């Protein structure tokens, strides 16, 4: 899996011969990870607490299995890879994109029957049912994405990974499409404030509908949007 930067690569090699190996179904993995670039992974087991409940199409087990696979392949033990526990995003950081009333509504919405004001903010719907600790779990995801972005911006890592993130459907004052807080938009806003001139936000999944979160323009940013 090569990186996009020259001289930076991540590959699986056989420990005995050094030959490059692609381990498929039923193939024994006899390799080790050799990494010539640096990667900051923002991970905490508590990130799996972003859980809309049984039957929801975005279960946290997808994250747990991804981390389990990465550990089994030896990724986290590879030279140049650091795994660090992120801090939750503060209200001020969430406020880079989201309104104060919305943040307050997310914090207060914790039961199976949200209040009418919570529904006004897109909470308690089929896509975004409320759950206990929703604010804390959502803020931790934003904190992870911010940590990854800051590591790259500061130059302590060439790449950053926040596998629990990418919740780009959330709007400034409303939850949407399984997303409570828009961690990519918040990280982009932080990078712009830190001095970045342009930031690209892309989605690698096939879509059949618009991506409102990443296209949400923010006042005062001029002609550019958060894509």
- Percent of the chain scored above 90 by pLDDT? 65
CATH code of the domain occupying 38-194: 3.40.800.20
Check if the beta carbon of residue 139 is closer than 8 Å to that of residue 98: no
pLDDT (0 to 100) of residue 109: 87
Over residues 11-24, the mean pLDDT reads 38
Model pLDDT for residues 90-111, shown as the tens digit of each residue = 999 999 999 999 999 999 887 5
Domain definitions of the chain by residue range: 38-194
Instruction: Supply the pTM of this predicted model.
Output: 0.77
pLDDT (0 to 100) of residue 43: 97
Out of 40, 98, 168, 169, pick the active-site residue: 169
User: Does the annotation count 169 as an active-site position?
Assistant: yes
pLDDT (0 to 100) of residue 47: 97
């Amino acid at each position: 899996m090569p990186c996009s930067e020259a001289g930076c690569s991540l590959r699986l090699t056989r420990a005995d011969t050094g030959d490059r190996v692609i381990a498929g179904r039923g193939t024994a993995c006899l390799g080790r990870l050799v990494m010539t670039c640096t990667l900051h992974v923002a991970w905490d087991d508590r990130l799996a607490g972003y859980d809309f409940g049984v039957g929801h199409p975005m279960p946290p087990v997808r994250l747990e299995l991804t981390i389990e696979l990465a550990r089994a392949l030896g990724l986290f033990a590879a030279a140049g890879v650091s795994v660090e526990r992120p801090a939750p995003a503060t209200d001020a950081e969430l406020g880079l994109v989201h309104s104060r009333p919305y943040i307050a509504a997310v914090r207060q919405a914790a039961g199976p029957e949200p209040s009418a004001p919570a529904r006004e903010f897109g909470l308690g719907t089929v896509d975004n049912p409320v759950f206990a600790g929703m604010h804390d779990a959502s803020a931790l995801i934003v904190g992870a994405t911010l940590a990854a972005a800051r590591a790259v911006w500061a130059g302590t890592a060439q790449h950053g990974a926040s596998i629990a993130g990418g919740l780009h459907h959330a709007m400034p004052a409303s939850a949407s499409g399984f997303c409570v807080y828009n961690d990519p938009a918040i990280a982009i806003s932080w990078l712009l404030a830190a001095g970045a001139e342009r930031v690209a936000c892309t989605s690698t999944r096939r879509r059949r509908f618009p991506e409102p979160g990443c296209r949400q323009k923010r006042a005062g940013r001029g002609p550019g949007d958060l894509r």
